[in-house]
Amino acid sequence: MRQILTAKQLRAAEQRVFDAEPDVDLMGRAAQAVARVTDAVVPTGTVLVAVGQGNNGGDGLFAAARLAAHRPVLVWLAMGSAHEAGLEAAVVAGAQEVDAVGAIKALAECSVVVDAVTGLGSRPGLPAEVETFAAACQAQGVPVVAVDLPSGLGADDARVHPSFQADHTVTFGAPKPCHVLNPAASRCGVLHVADIGIDAEPTMLRAAEESDIAAWWPVPGARSDKYSRGVLVLDTGSESYPGAALLSCAGALHVGAGMVRYAGRAPSGLIMSRFPSVVIGDGRAEATVLGSGWGDRDNAESRVEWAKLHQLPAVVDADALYSLPSGRLDGWLLTPHAGELARILGCTRAHVESQPLECVREVARTTGAAVLLKGATQYVAELSGRVTIAVPGPAWTARAGSGDVLAGICGALLASGLPAWKAGVLGASIQAMTAARNPGPYTPDELSARMPAVIAELAAAR
Ligand SMILES: NC(=O)C1=CN([C@@H]2O[C@H](COP(=O)(O)OP(=O)(O)OC[C@H]3O[C@@H](n4cnc5c(N)ncnc54)[C@H](OP(=O)(O)O)[C@@H]3O)[C@@H](O)[C@H]2O)[C@@H](O)CC1
Ligand SMILES: Nc1ncnc2c1ncn2[C@@H]1O[C@H](COP(=O)(O)OP(=O)(O)O)[C@@H](O)[C@H]1O
Ligand SMILES: [K+]
């Protein structure tokens, strides 16, 4: 599990290191990591380092000094002034200074650019000259290694602003929100988290890793049976949207539900013809999935209320999200995408997309349920305010029906006895990991059929 630190939390962690060891050279360690990644990404040719006036520029200059020992290095002081000791080290090592015009001209001969304009102290956006330079790097296809974060982004901000488009980003101690929250994360390229001796304490924002998914996956044991593995009732689909019923069945079955009962309004013959192991009709269960493919259903509210009355943990998806019963929904998992979350909150989709953490936390706080906000980055918020980001996957999954499969997956995991937040994180992650291992436009049900192989791989790795 990776802890995600805000700029303020990272600075506090840095301060603790300085307090314990006043002479520690954190900047030297940061520069060493930047030089190492730069050499690994593009081993030869001229490096052009764009330098700002703060400590981010300092990292860039000390990295320039290291690189200049074995390859040509140019430095551009993009804000006029720069970290004095860093500049001296770079010049002594042989780096050559260029001005703004020289920097743009030099791009034609450079093999890589190091962006050390701003980091944790970054205000969103770039001065005009730097923005022009960043655009030229992209237009000319020169790879960019960003120091700490692509200059122009805000460290704690999910939004994109005029900024560098990095191919690689070398950050220190722990990822910051901009490295994991989309769309900002899409500007970071490959993220390298360098250990420079800063300890990241547990925070209210963290990102799950594949090793967590492997460790948490509910693998059956010798004493397991279909009941102990979890019985799931799917009330999904409708006469108008029978496909959603099939997709939720596919999701639940392919992640190993002990038993799936189908109690929705899609034709039972259709379900049986595709999934003969599904039992038709309601019955004893450990969890239910409500809402996927319901459309405008007449008894939506009473059906959701029914689950609450029977204290049946529910995955609430799609149309059922607008029929939530009052009171605390402990043990439930809500699975909205940004548009659905906006409708629940009575705000715009754009607001949810620019403030995803605040919005997902707000619904978890007011309902007591765990809330999985779906999309390019998938967030699972709990009542406590803790948010866990699922393992990311490729955008191939962004297509109609993926959410129906995901609801079935999460339902099966909830039925297995996992807490709702963990069911959400595991469900979103396994779908993303399967897509990552099977790139291409597979349909959501085809992709679900590839999940057992990924789960077997995870179980074998434990
Ligand atoms: N502490 C440590 O020992 C370690 C720190 N480390 C490194 O330090 C970095 C943080 O350094 P930092 O605090 O000096 O801030 P930094 O990101 O360089 O920017 C501040 C300067 O940029 C300017 N500026 C900002 N935005 C702007 C904009 N949009 N347009 C124009 N100007 C803008 C801003 O101007 P001002 O706001 O003052 O007007 C100020 O002059 C961190 O990311 C990591 O790389 C590592 O070495 C590990 C050890
Ligand atoms: N950009 C993206 N990258 C990766 N996965 C995505 C992206 N956008 C959406 N997804 C995934 O696609 C699914 C879409 O869900 P949803 O919008 O509810 O679809 P539907 O309701 O049509 O089934 C979600 O499971 C989400 O995880
Ligand atoms: K930077």
pLDDT in tens, 200-221: 888 899 999 999 999 999 999 9
Same domain, 321 and 455: yes
Same domain, 229 and 198: no
Same domain, 228 and 172: no
* Residue 456 counted as an annotated binding residue: no
pLDDT band at residue 42, thresholds of 50, 70 and 90?
very high
Cβ 120 under 6 angstroms from ligand 1: yes
Contact indicator for 419, 315 with CB cutoff of 8 Å: no
pLDDT band at residue 294, thresholds of 50, 70 and 90?
very high
Same domain, 214 and 124: no
pLDDT of residue 445: 97
* Residue 244 counted as an annotated binding residue: yes
88: Cβ contacts below 8 Å, ≥ 6 apart: none
Q: What tens digit of pLDDT does each residue of 321-369 get? A: 999 999 999 999 999 999 999 999 999 999 999 999 999 999 999 999 9
Cβ 436 under 6 angstroms from ligand 2: no
pLDDT of residue 350: 95
Give the span between the Cα atoms of 283 and 233, in whole angstroms. Answer: 8
Residue nearest to atom 21 of ligand 2 (CA): 403
Same domain, 242 and 294: yes
Same domain, 95 and 165: yes
Pocket test for ligand 2, best of 371, 377, 402, 406 (most atoms within 8 A of CB): 402
Structural domain boundaries enclosing 371: 210-460
Tokens encoding 124 = 């969103």
The residue among 164, 174, 245, 165 whose CA lies nearest residue 206 is 174
Same domain, 186 and 217: no
Cβ 55 under 6 angstroms from ligand 2: no
Cβ 403 under 6 angstroms from ligand 2: yes
DSSP one-letter code for 397: G
pLDDT band at residue 199, thresholds of 50, 70 and 90?
confident
Same domain, 292 and 366: yes
Is 241 a residue whose pLDDT tops 90? yes
Beta-bridge partners for 259: 231
ipTM attached to this prediction: 0.91
Look at the chain and report how many structural domains it folds into. 2
Cβ 427 under 6 angstroms from ligand 2: no
Same domain, 79 and 162: yes
Tell me the CATH number at 357: 3.40.1190.20
Q: What tens digit of pLDDT does each residue of 139-152 get? A: 999 999 999 999 99
Domain boundary among 168, 202, 236: 202
* Residue 403 counted as an annotated binding residue: yes
Same domain, 244 and 186: no
Beta-bridge partners for 73: 47
The pairing of beta strand 333-334 with beta strand 370-373: parallel
Cβ 197 under 6 angstroms from ligand 1: no
Residue nearest to atom 46 of ligand 1 (CA): 27
Say what percent of the chain tops pLDDT 70: 100
Same domain, 225 and 146: no
Domain boundary among 202, 223, 250: 202
Tokens encoding 96 = 């050559």
- How remote is the C-alpha of 151 from its chain's centroid? 20
Beta-bridge partners for 316: 290, 334
